[in-house]
Amino acid sequence: MSLIVQKYGGTSVGSVERIQAVAAKVKQSRDAGHQVVVVVSAMSGETDRLLGLAHALQERPSPRELDVLLSTGEQVTIALLSMALEAGGCPARSYTGSQVQVRTDSAHNKARIRDIDGARVRADLDAGRVVVVAGFQGIDEQGNITTLGRGGSDTSAVAMAAALKADECQIYTDVDGVYTTDPRIEPKARRLARITFEEMLEMASLGSKVLQIRAVEFAGKYQVPLRVLSSFQDGEGTLITFEEGNVEEAKIAGIAFAKDEAKLTVLGVPDQPGVAHKILGPISDANVEVDMIIQNIAADARTTDFTFTIHRNDYGRALEILQSTAQDLGAREVQGDERIVKISLVGVGMRSHAGIASGMFEALAREGINIRMISTSEIKISVVIDEKYLELGVRALHDAFGLSDAS
Ligand code: ADP
Ligand code: ASP
Ligand code: MG
């Protein structure tokens, strides 16, 4: 008998009918002889709705109270799914994060799981029940409710699978696997039968929201076999594999993109030691995460131009901070651009293939797309371009690297 953790996302539990369909799927696994733990998200749109209510009352609600509020979405779906299972003749019991004891740190709204007490869940499984656990939530040392950041139910599922030493963690969602790029942007995107853990980690951190990045990190750390599948149709889905040898012989596994970026530039900063620190220090002190950074010597050779990207949500705050820094440093000008996006090519095959970068730049040039920033690492190349070219850029690259053709 094997133990499987199945996670169902918001769309998959978005209505009573869909919850019934999930219950049928879960029952099928149990009838096939598996022990099943189910982790669920809130019904689609619910977390956003709750956020809307909070912001209608307060511009910056307390992170603690937000967690008390947001965790209710998942509490609804665990109860409903358990009822649907029981109605279908499948014994089930639901638990919130605090009932299981999903213990996290105290970083409200982005808490990290420290450990999970599997005792209660195991006892139910041994008694023949399906256990339904609320995703996205935990409890800190003081007993406060915490949540794990948007998309966090993926991480709950992988962490639960690690804690219970499950045979597989299955992420059921509204696509039937991990694709070469988001199929909503490129209809010719192709499902990957396998992707390496390393590639999945890059894809997730570069903007592919099909899996939350921490879920992939967790799977790597605890070697949890992870598969992405469709809630709506049968199939093999995509296996996240730890063996590079078995992966398709492609140079590029996929294209990720991040729509929510913004760019800030300070022009004509006196070129002296410590400038980068003086510019970025106050930004990081304000808890704004910086992504790409470029520094260029200006034409007069005495000043420097400094550009960096941040999350779009932080744009206003970061612009204000930079304007004050620029004044202190005697810089000439601050420029900002909120309408940029980042597109990245990801693939372990890049290690052994040259010319990927030039192929990328050529494909974008052919479409008249101007590259504003570039950054590379061993298995990825990212470019920043204007937002209006996002779809065109993704599709051009998808074609240029032959990702549409079945290989
Ligand atoms: P869930 O609610 O089940 O967690 P998400 O919306 O978080 O679902 O993730 C699934 C979505 O991820 C898909 O609908 C798809 O639009 C998007 N996505 C982005 N990149 C990819 C990719 N490379 N492969 C598959 N889906 C992707
Ligand atoms: N309900 C949470 C969200 O919308 C967690 C999740 O769905 O994974 O982000
Ligand atoms: Mg998700």
Question: Do 259 and 168 reside in the same domain of the chain?
Answer: no
Pair (15, 143) in one structural domain: yes
Is pLDDT at 179 greater than 90 in this prediction? yes
Q: What is the mean pLDDT of the chain?
A: 94
Tokens, residue 168: 């597989």
Q: What is the mean pLDDT of residues 104-133?
A: 96
Q: Are residues 261 and 391 in the same domain?
A: yes
Same domain, 156 and 18: yes
Question: 120 and 23 in one domain?
Answer: yes
pLDDT band at 245 (very low <50, low <70, confident <90, very high): low
**In this structure, what CATH number is given to the domain that contains residue 291?**
3.30.2130.10
Mean per-residue pLDDT, 229-255: 84
- Comparing CA positions, the residue from 305, 402, 307 lying closest to residue 347 is 402
Select from 177, 190, 193, 183 the least CA-distant residue to 248: 193
Q: Residue 366 to residues 186, 312, 340: CA-CA distances in angstroms?
A: 18, 28, 19
Atom of ligand 1 minimally distant from the CA of 172: 3
Residue 374, phi-psi category: left (phi > 0), alpha (psi -120 to 50), beta (remainder): beta
Distance CA 158, CA 171 (A): 9
**Confidence class for position 249, pLDDT limits 50, 70, 90:** low
Q: Is the pLDDT of residue 247 over 60?
A: no
Q: Which two structure tokens, joined as six digits, stand for 396? A: 């051009």
Query: Is 290 a member of any domain?
Result: yes
Q: Are residues 259 and 393 in the same domain?
A: yes
298 and 168 in a single domain? The answer is no
* Structure tokens belonging to residue 170: 């299955």
Same domain, 24 and 170: yes
Question: Considering only 1-15, 177-191, 292-306, which range has the smallest mean pLDDT?
Answer: 292-306
What angle separates helix 356-366 from helix 390-400, to the nearest 10 degrees? 130
Angle among Cα 377, 383, 385 to the nearest 5 degrees reads: 170
Question: Whose atoms come closest to the Cα of 238: which ligand?
Answer: 1
Tell whether 80 is covered by a domain: yes
* Residues surrounding ion ligand 3 at CB below 5 Å: 9, 151
Q: What is the pLDDT of residue 299?
A: 73
pLDDT digits (tens, 9 = 90+) for 338-382: 999 999 999 998 888 888 999 999 999 999 999 999 999 999 999
Same domain as 261, residue 148: no
For residue 263, what is the DSSP state? Answer: E
* Alpha helices, DSSP H, located in 88-152: 97-100, 119-126
261 and 167, same domain (yes or no): no
Supply the residue whose CA is at minimum distance from atom 4 of ligand 1.
Answer: 9
What's residue 355's pLDDT? 87
pLDDT digits (tens, 9 = 90+) for 23-48: 999 999 999 999 999 999 999 999 99
How many angstroms is it from 333 CA to the middle of ligand 2? 40
For ligand 2, atom 8, which residue shows the shortest CA distance?
Answer: 151
| Mutational pocket test of ligand 2: of 13, 150, 169, 212, the residue with most ligand atoms within 8 Å of the beta carbon | 150
Dist. CA 81 → ligand 2 center (Å): 16
| 235: in domain | no
Ligand 1 atom 27 nearest Cα: 182
What is the domain range of residue 85?
A: 3-174
- Which of these three, 145, 174, 203, is where a domain ends? 174
Instruction: Examine the pLDDT at 65 and tell me if it is beyond 90.
Output: yes
| Residue of minimum CA distance from atom 9 in ligand 2 | 150
The whole-number pLDDT of residue 352 equals 81
> What is the arithmetic mean of pLDDT over 321-345?
95
The ligand placed nearest to the CA atom of residue 189 is 1
What are the pLDDT digits (tens) for 260-289?
A: 999 999 999 998 888 899 999 999 999 899
What angle separates helix 63-87 from helix 16-31, to the nearest 10 degrees? Answer: 60
Residue nearest to atom 10 of ligand 1 (CA): 210
Confidence band (pLDDT; 50, 70, 90) for 14? very high
Residues 14 and 158 in one domain: yes
Q: Is residue 113 part of a domain?
A: yes
Q: 209 lies in a domain?
A: no
Counted domains in the chain: 2
With pLDDT > 90 as the criterion, what percentage of the chain qualifies?
Answer: 90
Q: Is 150 in the pocket of ligand 1 (CB under 6 A)?
A: no
Q: Is residue 190 part of a domain?
A: no
Establish if 182 belongs to a structural domain: no
Pocket test residue of 44, 74, 77, 173 for ligand 1, highest count of atoms within 8 A of CB: 173
Q: Is 136 in the pocket of ligand 2 (CB under 6 A)?
A: yes
Last residue of a domain, one of 118, 147, 174: 174
Q: Which of 174, 190, 216 represents a domain boundary (last residue)? A: 174
Asked, for residue 194, whether it belongs to a domain, the answer is: no
User: Looking at 233-247, 250-264, 278-292, which range is the least confident one?
Assistant: 233-247
Predicted pLDDT at 383: 96
* pLDDT value, residue 262: 97
CATH number where 132 lies: 3.40.1160.10
CA of 370 to the centre of ligand 3 (A): 32
pLDDT of amino acid 228: 98
Q: Region of 287 please: left (phi>0), alpha (psi -120 to 50) or beta.
A: left
Query: For residue 8, how far is its CA from the centre of ligand 2 (angstroms)?
Result: 10
Does the CB atom of residue 176 touch ligand 1 within 6 A? no
**Whether residues 151 and 11 fall in one domain:** yes
Atom of ligand 1 nearest to the CA of 12: 3
Distance CA(313)–CA(222), nearest Å, equals 32
pLDDT for residue 250: 64
254 Cβ inside 6 Å of ligand 2: no
